Chains A and B, each alone.
Chain A
Amino acid sequence: MTVTELVSYEAALAAYDPVMGLEVHVELGTKTKMFCGCSTELGAAPNSQTCPTCLGMPGSLPVVNATGVESAIKIGLALNCEIAEWCRFARKNYFYPDMPKNFQTSQYDEPIAYNGYLDVQLEDGEVFRVEIERAHMEEDTGKSTHIGGATGRIHGASHSLLDYNRAGIPLIEIVTKPIVGAGERAPEVAKAYVTELRELIRALGVSEARMEMGQMRCDVNLSLRPQGVSVFGTRSETKNVNSLRSVERAVRFEIQRHAAVLTAGDRIIQETRHFHEDDGTTTSGRVKEEAEDYRYFPEPDLVPVAPPREWVEELRAVLPELPRVRRNRLREEWGVSELDMQSILNAGAVDLIVATTQAGADAAGARKWWMGELARHANEEGVELGSLPITPAQVARVVELVASGDLNDKLARQVIEGVLAGEGDPDAVVEKRGLKVVSDEGALGAAVDEAIAGNAAIADKIRGGKVAAVGALVGAVMKATRGQADAARVKELILQKLGVEA
């Protein structure tokens, strides 16, 4: 199928109103799988974390992981959902080699959580409410690796390898109600929603929700309707959009593609689509002309889940502060702008800064190092800020050393470099590299005298009232002390010696 020439985003929005639906799968961070005792640890040898149950061997039976249910309830509560008093698992019947039983144990018309919402904050601070249809429990499938095909997809492959380690890992699927009214901000809303959801999941401690590890996966449903029309258009379902940026791009691309198709007088085909990270486009996957018949029915091997109300209330009582609320609180405490807070969030620095302040640093100092020097390092090495080999406590110590005058910024940067290079704690690096600020007044005085003597002309200018010229002399002293002097003190000394009031 050829892709129609895209319509510009502005033109698309002028003619059409986008309606989105987002389905997010979150792999829970439970120690064991949803229905058996196998480990969920990532990275193990293929098929080493399997048993008769998760391999679907004849005679095997599932047993519900209680922590999985608890996590699902926590997510439901945090999403302002109602929690079912009684609900069942259901079998979703379809054939696929990476699904050992050829049915997925999921939930159908009785989800554990339903009817909620999540308020998300856009970059300019505007709050947009995303309504939640449901959150339900299910199990992950195994993983197929298709060998011999050009694209890694099954088409054209000579054979496939199956790894069932992932089969049975607990998943929570969170489905929004149709998101209407976002208009031109639809891509931004989609991204903000997934971001907020990720933060929420992490705050709840139920999953690390690392999209790059497949722990959180997003399907984007999108349709357009002509402005002023209330009926929804035909939707496309873009599968496995697995980064925050991609969510935004996929929505944007689909809006433009749908608009192009509709403007040309064609109709949108209901289908699944693949998203391409490289150029931000989508291509046709499986045509879904008729809804697939999964022949759902209540799972007879499991008993209904009936969470006692007292338990649900206990869980509600200990819910952590919502990320958005917490962010706004911190933003005020730290005295930063919406935009700065957004970049702190994007850099994944919020918790690091909080931890650094808890280790004794002031917020400004903590923010300065994490968002400056350390963010630059992380960027250069292409790693997440949190995975740099430096702890908030170490950063706090650096801030403390600067505040006490033992280090200046230049020296502090070297200390951080040393810590990142594995040379030990900040104090050890200072010791080893000999990075203490020169505060010996005698040594400093000598250096100042030398600088005055060597730059007589400048010294005269200063004596004559051109105080601004002092910078050149400070520079000379700093150079002579290899940067280890406190520049402010040096300036003070020079002016003092030249008999000029600062």
Chain B
Amino acid sequence: MTDSIIKLTAAEIAAKIASGELTAVEVTEAHLARIEAVDEKVHAFLHVDREGALAQARAVDAKREAGEKLGPLAGVPLALKDIFTTEGIPTTVGSKILEGWIPPYDATLTKKLKAADVVILGKTNMDEFAMGSSTENSAYGPTGNPWDLTKIPGGSGGGSSAALASYQAPLAIGTDTGGSIRQPASVTGTVGVKPTYGGVSRFGMVAFSSSLDQGGPCARTVLDAALLHEAIAGHDPLDSTSIDAPVPPVVEAARNGSVAGMRVGVVKQFRGEHYQAGVMQRFEESVALLKELGAEVVELDCPSFDLALSAYYLIAPSECSSNLARFDGLRYGLRTGDDGTKSAEDVTAVTRADGFGPEVKRRIMLGTYALSSGYYDAYYGSAQKVRTLIAQDFEKAFEQVDVIVSPTTPTTAFPIGERVDDPIAMYYADLCTIPVNLAGNAAMSLPCGLAPEDNLPVGLQIVAPAMKDDRLYTVGAAVEAAFMEKWGHPLLEEAPSL
């Protein structure tokens, strides 16, 4: 019974609950049992809210019994990245510095999930403050990739991607500053979408880099991602950068996948020495598939993309150095060294030394330096100019094509521990995802097969212009259907059972 429930898609679960074939409590209990059974090995969750989840499930069942109309995701369990505030439930952002903090308020996204009757199972592991590509930077220990527990599940949203790939939840929420939704989706054989910047409210999402951060949906199918996308997107007066326009018709797009007549761009900068052969092989096959499905493929030159990584590692640390200044041990979270002899300033210093991990410290220092008077123009200023160039390259590209495709990340999941001491190697994981964040466009990663050399999932990235998120789903659904036909089953079926 449990097994048959946990492998259902979100759309199927919602339909079965609506028809009365399953209750929300049954569905929630099945997932809680799965978490109980496998999460000790996977470590996707930092906090499981068993009681809260069951209470929400009971409320959904009561609503149904009372004949009230249920939303399209009513009763579907979800794993929430531990970066969104949840009233009364711990929120750590994967950091020791917020250990013990119980937020007094819900993020807008949390509120929307609750309003949609989604059942929040708990909070998922992540790289501290979303800084990383492997979830190894979590202060609470790494997460294993369900395909191979010795491999990383991607990052920063490795908890969410691992929860999906290990059937602990059919839906999850991620956040994407430089690829933290898409790269984990890619290396776990799941689907992840970074909506257009401003498409999903950031209110209550702990900030890493405000101008890049974007929350988004994670799922095992394109349609499920679309259903979740629709539930969390939309204008929020509490977030000034949120776009005041109708949400693109993503669910309709996911139900009507097609690439016939579409112009699909392939960027020549997204290949080269950093790319694994098997990843490129699956990517080329995907491009061939798109052609077979009726798309016209156009080669694109976007020279500024070569500068994206450098620009990103100035902008994101600069903003983070300011965003993280508030963690001073005075008002909330961790406080160490307050033995009555130290000044407030010294207690802050000790608390931050204890509470922040090495990658976070590295980026705070990098950003503080980059913003310093005398260096601002050379670093932050130049990076902003590169950002403009990247946006212009995208703009020009989208005059010629409807979407752009690329590998999501240059390699498959790498072993835990392999890149922890080599930050630059770690940063390369985001080579293809970062330009999208810098331009504020929308992008999706979906599985396109296993790399022949290691039998690990490869992701295909689809990029659409800002506020054309629906195109991701139109193309994604078509590609997904074609692959399903080819494979005969979802890719995840090939993962070893835990």
**What is the CA–CA distance of A59 and B371 in the complex, to the nearest angstrom?**
22
- Asked if A100 and B331 sit within 8 Å, CB to CB, the answer is yes
- Asked if A293 and B322 sit within 8 Å, CB to CB, the answer is no
- Asked if A63 and B105 sit within 8 Å, CB to CB, the answer is no
- Asked if B344 and A160 sit within 8 Å, CB to CB, the answer is yes
Option from A52, A91, A303 in Cβ contact (under 8 Å) with B322: A91
A60 contacts which chain B residues (CB < 8 A)? 203-204
**What is the CA–CA distance of A162 and B344 in the complex, to the nearest angstrom?**
12
**What is the CA–CA distance of A252 and B105 in the complex, to the nearest angstrom?**
52
Option from A61, A101, A295 in Cβ contact (under 8 Å) with B326: A101
Option from A91, A101, A296, A303 in Cβ contact (under 8 Å) with B240: A303
Option from B209, B241, B348, B373 in Cβ contact (under 8 Å) with A95: B348
Option from B205, B240, B376 in Cβ contact (under 8 Å) with A59: B205
- Asked if A52 and B105 sit within 8 Å, CB to CB, the answer is yes
Contact flag A56-B203 (CB < 8 Å), given A95-B325, A102-B325, A297-B376: no
Nearest-CB residue, chain B, relative to A290: B373
Query: Within the complex, what minimum Cβ distance (angstroms) separates A145 from chain B?
Result: 13
Kindly identify, within residues 31 to 64 of chain A, every residue whose CB is under 8 Å from any CB belonging to chain B.
52, 55-64
The answer to whether B289 has its CB under 8 Å from any CB of chain A is no
Kindly identify, within residues 347 to 388 of chain A, every residue whose CB is under 8 Å from any CB belonging to chain B.
none
The answer to whether B107 has its CB under 8 Å from any CB of chain A is yes
- Asked if B207 and A59 sit within 8 Å, CB to CB, the answer is yes
- Asked if A293 and B318 sit within 8 Å, CB to CB, the answer is no
- Asked if B85 and A59 sit within 8 Å, CB to CB, the answer is yes
- Asked if B322 and A103 sit within 8 Å, CB to CB, the answer is yes
B332 contacts which chain A residues (CB < 8 A)? 57-58
**Max chain B Cβ within 10 angstroms of own Cβ: one of A52, A59, A296, A302:** A59
**What is the CA–CA distance of A425 and B267 in the complex, to the nearest angstrom?**
85
- Asked if A302 and B344 sit within 8 Å, CB to CB, the answer is no
Return the CB mask of B142-184 against A: 1 if under 8 Å, else 0: 0000000000000000000000000000000000000000000
- Asked if A61 and B238 sit within 8 Å, CB to CB, the answer is yes
Kindly identify, within residues 189 to 229 of chain B, every residue whose CB is under 8 Å from any CB belonging to chain A.
202-207, 209-211
The answer to whether B330 has its CB under 8 Å from any CB of chain A is yes
Query: Within the complex, what minimum Cβ distance (angstroms) separates B84 from chain A?
Result: 7
A125 contacts which chain B residues (CB < 8 A)? none
- Asked if B344 and A93 sit within 8 Å, CB to CB, the answer is no
**What is the CA–CA distance of A59 and B107 in the complex, to the nearest angstrom?**
7
Query: Within the complex, what minimum Cβ distance (angstroms) separates A307 from chain B?
Result: 16
Return the CB mask of B70-101 against A: 1 if under 8 Å, else 0: 00000000000000110000010100001001
The answer to whether A301 has its CB under 8 Å from any CB of chain B is yes
- Asked if A100 and B322 sit within 8 Å, CB to CB, the answer is no
Query: Within the complex, what minimum Cβ distance (angstroms) separates B107 from chain A?
Result: 6
The answer to whether A454 has its CB under 8 Å from any CB of chain B is no
The answer to whether A300 has its CB under 8 Å from any CB of chain B is yes
Question: What is the total number of residues of chain B having a CB less than 8 Å from a CB of chain A?
Answer: 44
Kindly identify, within residues 472 to 492 of chain A, every residue whose CB is under 8 Å from any CB belonging to chain B.
none
Query: Within the complex, what minimum Cβ distance (angstroms) separates A92 from chain B?
Result: 10
**What is the CA–CA distance of A64 and B240 in the complex, to the nearest angstrom?**
8
B107 contacts which chain A residues (CB < 8 A)? 59
Nearest-CB residue, chain A, relative to B332: A57
**What is the CA–CA distance of A91 and B332 in the complex, to the nearest angstrom?**
22
Return the CB mask of B10-29 against A: 1 if under 8 Å, else 0: 00000000000000000000
**What is the CA–CA distance of A101 and B93 in the complex, to the nearest angstrom?**
17
**What is the CA–CA distance of A58 and B91 in the complex, to the nearest angstrom?**
9
The answer to whether B239 has its CB under 8 Å from any CB of chain A is yes
Question: What is the total number of residues of chain A having a CB less than 8 Å from a CB of chain B?
Answer: 30
Query: Within the complex, what minimum Cβ distance (angstroms) separates B330 from chain A?
Result: 6
B373 contacts which chain A residues (CB < 8 A)? 291, 293, 295
- Asked if A295 and B371 sit within 8 Å, CB to CB, the answer is yes
Query: Within the complex, what minimum Cβ distance (angstroms) separates A83 from chain B?
Result: 21
A285 contacts which chain B residues (CB < 8 A)? none
The answer to whether A422 has its CB under 8 Å from any CB of chain B is no
**What is the CA–CA distance of A200 and B203 in the complex, to the nearest angstrom?**
38
Option from A56, A57, A160, A300 in Cβ contact (under 8 Å) with B105: A57
A103 contacts which chain B residues (CB < 8 A)? 322, 325
- Asked if B206 and A56 sit within 8 Å, CB to CB, the answer is no
Kindly identify, within residues 123 to 142 of chain B, every residue whose CB is under 8 Å from any CB belonging to chain A.
none
The answer to whether A97 has its CB under 8 Å from any CB of chain B is yes
**What is the CA–CA distance of A56 and B333 in the complex, to the nearest angstrom?**
13
Return the CB mask of A271-293 against B: 1 if under 8 Å, else 0: 00000000000000000000101
Option from A63, A291, A293 in Cβ contact (under 8 Å) with B238: A63
Kindly identify, within residues 102 to 116 of chain B, every residue whose CB is under 8 Å from any CB belonging to chain A.
103-105, 107
**What is the CA–CA distance of A100 and B325 in the complex, to the nearest angstrom?**
9
Query: Within the complex, what minimum Cβ distance (angstroms) separates B324 from chain A?
Result: 9
- Asked if A97 and B344 sit within 8 Å, CB to CB, the answer is yes
Option from A56, A63, A64, A93 in Cβ contact (under 8 Å) with B331: A56
Nearest-CB residue, chain B, relative to A98: B330
Contact flag A63-B211 (CB < 8 Å), given A95-B348, A97-B330: no
Query: Within the complex, what minimum Cβ distance (angstroms) separates B248 from chain A?
Result: 20
B371 contacts which chain A residues (CB < 8 A)? 93, 295-297
The answer to whether B328 has its CB under 8 Å from any CB of chain A is yes
**What is the CA–CA distance of A38 and B203 in the complex, to the nearest angstrom?**
17
A sample of 9 inter-chain contacts (CB < 8 A) reads A58-B93, A58-B332, A61-B238, A62-B240, A63-B239, A93-B371, A95-B328, A95-B345, A103-B322
Chain B positions near chain A (C-beta within 8 angstroms): 84-85, 91, 93, 98, 101, 103-105, 107, 202-207, 209-211, 237-241, 318-319, 321-322, 325-328, 330-332, 344-345, 348, 368, 371-373, 376, 380
Given known contacts A57-B85, A61-B238, A300-B211, what 19 new A-B pairs fall within 8 Å (CB)? A52-B105, A56-B326, A57-B104, A57-B331, A57-B332, A58-B85, A58-B91, A58-B98, A58-B103, A59-B103, A61-B239, A97-B344, A100-B326, A101-B325, A102-B325, A102-B326, A295-B372, A297-B318, A297-B319
